[in-house]
Amino acid sequence: MRSIKKLLACTVGAALGAVMITGCGSNSNGGGKSDTIKIGVFEPKTGENGSGGAQEELGIEYALSVRPTVTVDGKEYKVELDWQDNQSDKTVSATAAQKLIADGCVGVIGGYGSSTCIAAGTYFKDAQVPIIGTSCTNTNVTLGNDYYFRVCYLDPFQGTVLADWAIENDFKKIATIDNIGNEYTSGLVATFKKEFEAKGGTIVDAETFQTNESDFKAILTNIKNSGAQAVFAPTDYVYAPLLLNQSADLGLEVQWIAGDTWYNPVITKDAAKNAEGVVVDTFYAEGGNADFDKAFKEWLNADPKRLEANIGSDKIVGNQVMCYDAYMTLCDAIEASNSFKGSDIQAALKTINKQDAIGGAITFDENGDAKKNTTYICKITDGEFKFVEAVTHEE
Amino acid sequence: MSSSYFFQQLLNGLSIGGAYALIAIGYTMVYGILRMINFAHGDVFMMAGYFAIYAIAIFPWYIALPIAILGTIILGVVIEKIAYKPLRSAPRMSVMISAIGVAYLLENLANYLFTAMPQSYPQIDILKKVYNLGGISVSRVTILAPILTVVLTFALIELVNHSKLGMAMRACSKDQDTARIMGVKVDSVITMTFIIGCGLAAIGSILYFTDRNTVQPYSGALPGLKCFVAAVLGGIGSIPGAVIGGFIVGICQIVITAAGYSVFSDAFTFVLLVIILIVRPSGIFGENATDKV
């Protein structure tokens, strides 16, 4: 028995050693000696934002299938994606970021959820690895970080547009629900409140909850008691079915308004009839680019696994378009800089002018944010997100 | 504050308190017999949620729910046999660490098997029927939760005080070695304890998740900790104590959230734990055990 254990220990030890050696070997190749380069993907595969991250990954995977190589110095390099799971967790995000840097990624794409992006940002800045944010809308993601760019619009814009929409549609008394510790939700609630009150609306009740809460009955009873006509709840999508179903149990009948995260099939699936009438905004509404829609849907339908990751439908989520654009922008910047050096790619990103992006042309301002001023308002009707109007807001 | 608002919040508190009470019983019973905190209990409760989801996908609810309860019991017993039984003679701390390991294992297993995506808990019509009483809107499960909790608690107290199994349980909790000498099958008593604890956790999970609609791999972590606090508050080892503790924790949580301090609702539960440990470490109903040092 003892000898078997010894043998086992030796085998495991040898295997570990082998893994470490090969691991180091592939690292040194990442720099560009061979014919492949690595692009990192910084997304949550697990945790509260796991399904959002999985959907975004589809967008990146599709982009890779469309453009599998980049050309630098007249030589074609195969792109390899380096997937790291940040587990929707700020601490794990730091580890994931360090792993991506250690793997020698020339650039990174991601991710879903502002909190994790903010936590990881400084690592990329220090290592001079450019990263392009997909759907992290909080201002602080790119602020003061020269290596963080982003292709989506920002919270102040989103909150302002939704507040305008509420005023225009005659909702004067609104309750807000904020998730403490979630930069995305808090940012949106703050900008919404500012614009809404400036335009003459009243916030009758400001409720808060903590991450991972699943019992909203107390705060929903408060909202019912406050006489609000509408509720602004730009939470992560996991809370949406809980809020909607529990408010139906309590007989709370209000207009629900939320941000881009609620544009997610989980809501129509899990809240079913209780989700009817919910208003959200999104980065891209299907129909914006018919050729892209068609090709992407074909790609999704080609593999049941992709459909499953997309929550069983071939509906295009705005985030996926952002991911596609982020990947293409990064590849363009690599080719424009004609280099794999982080600082060169970053310089190229600063001056990029990408007119053919699917979700609207991309040029970055001094903070590294794409100059976008259009959002798409959608309403859940008959169990589907129906496009209502495109809203453009000029500062 | 209108009276309908007050009663609505009270009902919210009672329904969550009922579910907490059922889970807290599991902590308290295992502690009573093994003198260890079964930190995996909250995650067993979460797994019960998944079992119900998958059982209802196949069977009608009146078959599916017993299957889910049975599945949870089997899981609990298997955990005891694999993770706790081999450590019976080890220091108590080792068993506790093993329990924490099992808790993480279950969370990650759920993550792997069922994905991190929150899954919709089946809405059983018979439980979800909504009543409307003068401005108060309440689903049947909300009313059922506290009633069922009280009924089950009385049945359990009866069992512990007036049955042969109950006597064996009390004997084991007083002194395992002596009980063994007296011919009590300690191992099967411990198995029975896990069966009852996990069965109640499964019923608690049906009450809890029917009202809260979604299950995800970390659904059990926080309720588990809160129920642990409830058990300590009531006096760990005491069944009525766990139930009272469960209701206190549940109602406090709703009162604090309703008052607009949801930031502190979780923190309060743990402040409560600290206070009770300082002021009255044996809890409300706890026996004043004099440990031989």
Q: What is the pLDDT of residues B154-171, one digit of tens each?
A: 999 999 999 999 999 999
- Chain A contact for B218, CB < 8 A? yes
Which positions in chain A touch B221 (Cβ < 8 Å)? 212
**Mutate which: A58, A189, A210, vs B, most B CBs within 10 A:** A210
Per-residue tokens: B118: 């929150």
Q: Which residues of B touch A212 (CB under 8 A)?
A: 218, 221-222
Measured between alpha carbons, how far is A275 from A245 in angstroms, rounded to an integer? 8
User: Is residue A5's pLDDT more than 90?
Assistant: no
For the residues A322-331, what does the mean pLDDT come to?
95
Among the partner-chain residues B120, B137, B211, the one whose CB lies closest to the CB of A241 is B120
Prior bond of A53 cis (ω within 30°)? no
Q: How far apart are CA B285 and CA B137, in angstroms?
A: 35
User: Alpha-carbon distance B275 to B270, whole Å?
Assistant: 9
Express as a percent the part of chain B with pLDDT over 90.
60
Residue A45 — pLDDT band, cuts 50, 70, 90? confident
pLDDT in tens, B217-250: 888 988 999 999 999 999 988 899 999 999 999 9
Whether A226 shows a pLDDT value over 60: the answer reads yes
Does the pTM exceed 0.90?
no
A182: left (phi over 0), alpha (psi -120 to 50) or beta: beta
Least confident of A128-137, A204-213, B132-141: B132-141
- Average pLDDT value for residue range A10-27: 48
What percent of chain A is modeled with pLDDT above 90? 58
Task: Please tell me the distance in Å from B162's CA to the nearest CA on chain A.
Answer: 38
pLDDT in tens, A365-376: 999 999 888 888
Q: Which helix (H) or strand (E) holds B55?
A: helix B41-58
For residues B254 and A266, the model is more confident at B254
Answer whether residue B20 shows pLDDT above 90: yes
Nearest CB partner across the interface for B262, out of A209, A225, A241: A209
Instruction: Determine phi and psi for B213, rounding to 5 degrees.
Output: 70, -30
Task: List Cβ neighbours of A200 (8 Å cut-off, separation of 6 or more).
Answer: A167, A172
Q: Let me know: does A363 contact A375? Beta carbons within 8 Å.
A: no
Inter-chain CB proximity A208 and B263 less than 8 Å? yes
- The CA distance from A10 to the nearest CA of chain B, in Å, is 26
- The helix/strand/coil state of B73 is helix
CA–CA gap between residue A196 and residue A82 (Å, rounded): 42
Whether residue B246 contacts residue B22, with contact meaning beta carbons closer than 8 Å, is answered with yes
Upper half-sphere CA count for residue A299 (Cβ side, 13 Å): 19
Q: How many CB atoms lie within 10 A of CB A306?
A: 16
CA distances from B83 to A278, B43, B47, B78, B92 (A): 47, 15, 17, 8, 13
Q: What whole-number distance in Å separates Cα of residue B160 and Cα of residue B163?
A: 6
pLDDT digits (tens, 9 = 90+) for A258-279: 998 898 888 888 888 889 999 9
Are A221 and B2 in contact (CB < 8 Å)? no
Query: Is A250 close to B8, i.e. CB distance below 8 A?
Result: yes
Please state, for a pLDDT cut of 70, what percent of chain A lies above it: 91
Give the type of residue at B206: I
pLDDT for position A27: 42
Given pLDDT bands bounded at 50, 70 and 90, which one contains residue B123? Answer: confident
pLDDT value of position A13: 54
Report the Cα–Cα distance between both ends of chain B, in Å, rounded. 54
When the pLDDT of each residue in chain B is averaged and rounded to a whole number, the result is 89
The pLDDT assigned to A102 comes to 94
In this complex, do B211 and A47 lie within 8 Å of one another by their Cβ atoms? no
d(CA A219, CA B259): 9
Query: Looking at the predicted structure, is the pLDDT value of residue A230 above 50?
Result: yes
A270 and B266: CB-CB below 8 Å?
Answer: no
pLDDT band at A20 (very low <50, low <70, confident <90, very high): very low
Contact assignment for B130 to A249 by CB distance below 8 Å: yes
The nearest CA of chain A is from the CA of B40 a distance in Å of 18
**How close, in Å, is residue A80 to chain B by CA atoms?**
25
**Residues A56, A58, A64, CA angle at the centre, nearest 5°?**
110
pLDDT tens across A84-115, in order? Answer: 999 888 999 999 999 999 999 999 998 898 99
Check residue A33 and give its pLDDT.
55
Record the tokens describing residue A248, joined without a space. 């139906």
Residue B222 near residue B266 (C-beta atoms within 8 A): yes
Contact A319, A44 (CB under 8 A): no
A210 with B12: Cβ contact below 8 A: no
Residues of A whose CB is below 8 A from B5: 221, 224-225
State chain A's mean pLDDT as an integer: 87
Q: Which residues of A touch B137 (CB under 8 A)?
A: 249-251
HEC letters along chain A: CHHHHHHHHHHHHHHHHHHHHHHHHHHHHCCCCCCEEEEEEEECCCCCCHHHHHHHHHHHHHHHHHCCEEEECCEEEEEEEEEEECCCCHHHHHHHHHHHHHCCCCEEECCCCHHHHHHHHHHHHHHCCCEEECCCCCHHHCCCCCCEEECCCCHHHHHHHHHHHHHHCCCCEEEEEEEECCHHHHHHHHHHHHHHHHCCCEEEEEEEEECCCCCCHHHHHHHHHHCCCEEECCCCCCHHHHHHHHHHHCCCCCEEEECHHHCCHHHHHHCHHHHCCCEEEECCCCCCCHHHHHHHHHHHHCCHHHHHHCCCCCCCCHHHHHHHHHHHHHHHHHHHHCCCCHHHHHHHHHCCCECCCCCCCECECCCCEECCCEEEEEEEECCEEEEEEEEECCC
Side by side, the strands of the sheet bearing A202-210 are A202-210, A173-180, A230-232, A255-258, A279-282, A374-381, A384-392
Over residues A118-144, mean pLDDT: 93
Q: Which of B5, B212, B219 to mutate to test the interface with A (most CBs of A within 10 A)?
A: B212
Q: How confident is the model at residue B290 (pLDDT cuts 50, 70, 90)?
A: low
Nearest CA in chain A to B112: A46
- Find out whether A314 and A307 touch, Cβ atoms under 8 Å: yes
* Phi/psi at A378 (5° precision): -130, 155
Kindly indicate the confidence band of residue A32, based on its pLDDT and cuts at 50, 70 and 90.
very low
Beta bridge partners of B135: none
Tokens of A340: 């794999």
Which residue type does B249 have?
V
User: How large is the angle between the packed helices B186-212 and B164-174, nearest 10 degrees?
Assistant: 100
- Residue B19: HSE in the Cβ half-sphere, 13 Å Cα cutoff: 28
Place of tokens 């508050």: B233
Question: Among the listed ranges A181-185, A324-328, B134-138, B260-264, which one has the minimum average pLDDT value?
Answer: B134-138
Sheet containing A148-150: which strands, arranged edge to edge? A69-72, A75-85, A36-43, A107-109, A131-133, A148-150
Count the Cβ atoms, other than its own, within 10 Å of residue B196.
22
Most confident of the ranges A58-62, B207-211, B267-271: A58-62
More confident residue, A266 or A14: A266
CA A63 to each of CA A37, A60, A153, B242: distance values in angstroms, whole numbers, following the listed order: 16, 5, 20, 55
Residues A209, A212, A215, CA angle at the centre, nearest 5°? 60
- Look at residue A195 and tell me whether its pLDDT is greater than 90: yes
pLDDT confidence band for A395 (50 / 70 / 90): low
For B204-220, what is each residue's pLDDT tens digit? 999 999 888 888 888 89
What pLDDT was estimated at residue A155? 87
Mean pLDDT over B72-91 rounds to: 93
Which residue does chain A place closest to B107, by CA atoms? A47
CA separation for the pair B169, A305 (Å, rounded):
50
